[in-house]
């Protein structure tokens, strides 16, 4: 006689700290899946991931225990069981764990062993490492429950195999990074399956949490590493997987019936959707009615506006053009065209009176000084004050528009164009901005609420970038061409290369020395910058945390 199991994978979003809301969402899923045997939810689904120091608050631990017991009661009778990720305190230690809820009770709890402590992750500050876990007995199947990082390293899965596990169910809070979905499936999960010979369920969450976005893209691998299910990226998905064990087969031979294989986003659609998710969830979960941003007629603000419209809808995006005496008619026209193509509100507020007022106010103090970048920065700060005034008055969050190339070298004005609450381009180099803009003009993202056609005039993409803070200004006056600057910065930031390493790659030595100096000296600005969507492996803020006062140089 064959044994059978129906295991439901609930690829869901979470809201950090909303324990009751997260529990209610799980119960809502549970009530629609009464024919299932087991419903699995992502890592720390009850409290939200990553919880950071929130879980050090005793009241959060107490509330988590109460809500977990409420979830357990929902499983009374012959209803399905649940696997729920939460926090657990035992012997005055705090653990990241997963609980099997069945028959109205908490039947078993297993703790995470491998605590990530690199880049985005900081779990060793918060949690204790659990003991190597034993499999959980569930309706004729011994299930191993490695949690997230426990699958990225071999020891836990090998231990579970040695203890008789017949399948692995691994819940995750695995953030999006460029090309990470291939790494999860093609290298990490496949390697664990090869080592153990066990089928593996890899369940990930979706949604944004401050700077981090989670893309889902959960999957099931058979014991031969074949992909049996591939869930979508970015969207919630509640999927039944059907398992059977032939009584004549070897003890561990549970097989998953083939299911739907969703095609995941290709590059750069994945980056664009990551920006949508990050901004959408940040704005909505923090209760903002919408966003406001300066629309200059340049590519950075045009792309930021497009992402905002795709994330929130045109009626929640408010654009403001703030011309000075250096603003060209082309820029005015390009901003107006962008707003029309996106369907957003566009107001024009001249900063000329304010600039004249500052010139008069500072005339005596600046009398013996030449005009320099100070006057340029005053213009930027006037624009920041103007936008923040509108934000304060009407409640819209100010969206900043600077890219990673600018933030790397400090080509941004602190308390000026850096002012704001969030940035979708913070981890996007300028060449990525060009690529995303070209892509969006030809494609509509799967999550997009914006127009089907182009979102900016082609001239906005092709014209030379300029801050327009002085006559005939171009970015190239102050910086190397982006075709040189961006690969150089990638070497300094993502790869941590030295000056000598980069010179060996063919970069000009003096240019590398100058850019490295700018990178280090701009740290104080970045420390005061708003959060923004993490896209790559070394974003500023969560991944790359350098001292502000830093005398080290690689020359």
Residues involved in catalysis:
43, 112, 148
Residues paired with residue 155 on neighbouring β-strands, in sequence order: none
CB atoms within 10 A of CB 74: 17
Residue 287 DSSP SS3:
coil
Q: What are phi and psi of 120, to 5 degrees?
A: -65, -30
* Cα atoms found within 13 Å of the Cα of residue 545, Cβ hemisphere only: 8
Residue 426 DSSP SS3:
coil
Cα–Cα distance between 182 and 458 in angstroms, integer?
Answer: 33
Q: What are phi and psi of 208, to 5 degrees?
A: -100, 145
Q: Cβ(329)–Cβ(341) under 8 Å?
A: no
Residue 103 DSSP SS3:
coil
Sheet containing strand 397-400, edge to edge, reads 345-348, 317-321, 291-294, 397-400, 422-423
Instruction: Measure the N-to-C terminal CA separation of the chain; round to a whole number of Å.
Output: 72
Residue with tokens 């993202």: 445
- Whether cis (ω within 30° of 0) applies to the bond prior to 460 is no
**Token pair for 461:** 């993409």
Residues paired with residue 21 on neighbouring β-strands, in sequence order: none
Q: How many helices (H) and strands (E) does the chain have?
A: 18, 20
For residue 361, how far is the Cα from the chain centroid?
44
CB atoms within 10 A of CB 457: 18
**Token pair for 420:** 């704001």
């Amino acid at each position: 006689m064959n044994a059978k199991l129906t295991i439901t994978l609930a690829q869901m979003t979470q809201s950090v700290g909303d324990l009751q809301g997260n529990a209610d969402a799980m119960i809502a899923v549970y009530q629609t899946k009464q024919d299932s045997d087991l419903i699995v939810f992502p890592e720390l689904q009850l409290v939200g991931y990553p919880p950071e120091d929130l879980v050090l608050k005793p009241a959060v631990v107490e509330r988590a225990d109460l809500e977990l017991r409420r979830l357990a009661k929902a499983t009374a009778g012959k209803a399905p069981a649940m696997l729920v990720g939460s926090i657990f305190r035992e012997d005055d230690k705090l653990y990241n764990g997963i609980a099997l809820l069945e028959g109205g009770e908490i039947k078993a709890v297993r703790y995470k062993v491998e605590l990530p402590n690199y880049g985005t992750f900081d779990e060793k500050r918060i949690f204790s490492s659990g003991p190597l876990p034993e499999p959980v007995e569930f309706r004729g199947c011994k299930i191993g429950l490695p949690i997230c990082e426990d699958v990225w390293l071999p020891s836990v899965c090998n231990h579970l195999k040695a203890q008789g596990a017949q399948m692995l169910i691994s819940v995750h809070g695995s953030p999006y990074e460029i090309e990470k979905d291939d790494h999860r499936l093609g290298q990490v999960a496949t390697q664990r399956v090869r080592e153990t010979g066990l089928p593996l369920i890899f369940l990930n969450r979706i949604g944004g949490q401050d700077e981090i976005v989670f893309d889902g893209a959960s999957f099931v691998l058979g014991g031969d590493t074949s992909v049996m299910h591939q869930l979508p990226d970015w969207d919630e998905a509640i999927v039944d997987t059907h398992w059977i064990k032939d009584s004549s087969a070897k003890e561990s031979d549970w097989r998953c019936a083939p299911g739907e294989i969703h095609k995941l986003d290709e590059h750069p659609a994945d980056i664009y959707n990551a920006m949508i998710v990050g901004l959408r969830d940040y704005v909505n979960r923090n209760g903002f009615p919408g966003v406001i941003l300066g629309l200059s007629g340049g590519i950075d603000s045009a792309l930021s506006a497009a992402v905002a419209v795709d994330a929130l809808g045109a009626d929640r995006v408010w654009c403001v053009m703030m011309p000075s005496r250096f603003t060209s008619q082309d820029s005015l026209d390009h901003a107006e065209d962008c707003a029309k193509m996106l369907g957003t509100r566009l107001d024009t507020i001249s900063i000329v009176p304010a600039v004249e007022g500052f010139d008069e106010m500072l005339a005596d103090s600046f009398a013996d000084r030449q005009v320099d970048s100070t006057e340029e920065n005053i213009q930027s700060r006037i624009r920041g004050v103007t936008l923040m005034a509108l934000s304060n008055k009407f409640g819209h969050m100010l969206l900043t528009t600077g890219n990673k190339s600018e933030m790397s070298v400090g080509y941004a004005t602190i308390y000026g164009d850096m002012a704001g609450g969030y940035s979708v381009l913070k981890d996007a180099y300028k060449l990525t901005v060009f690529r995303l803009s070209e892509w969006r003009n030809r494609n509509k993202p799967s999550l997009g609420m914006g127009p089907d056609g182009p979102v900016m005039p082609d001239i906005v993409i092709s014209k030379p970038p300029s801050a327009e803070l002085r006559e005939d200004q171009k970015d190239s006056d102050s910086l190397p061409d982006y075709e040189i600057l961006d690969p150089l910065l990638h070497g300094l930031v993502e790869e941590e290369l030295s000056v000598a390493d980069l010179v060996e790659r063919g970069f000009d030595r003096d240019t590398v020395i100058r850019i490295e100096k700018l990178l280090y000296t701009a740290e104080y600005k970045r420390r005061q910058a708003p959060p923004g969507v993490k896209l790559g492996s070394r974003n500023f803020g969560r991944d790359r945390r350098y001292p502000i006062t830093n005398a080290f140089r690689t020359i």
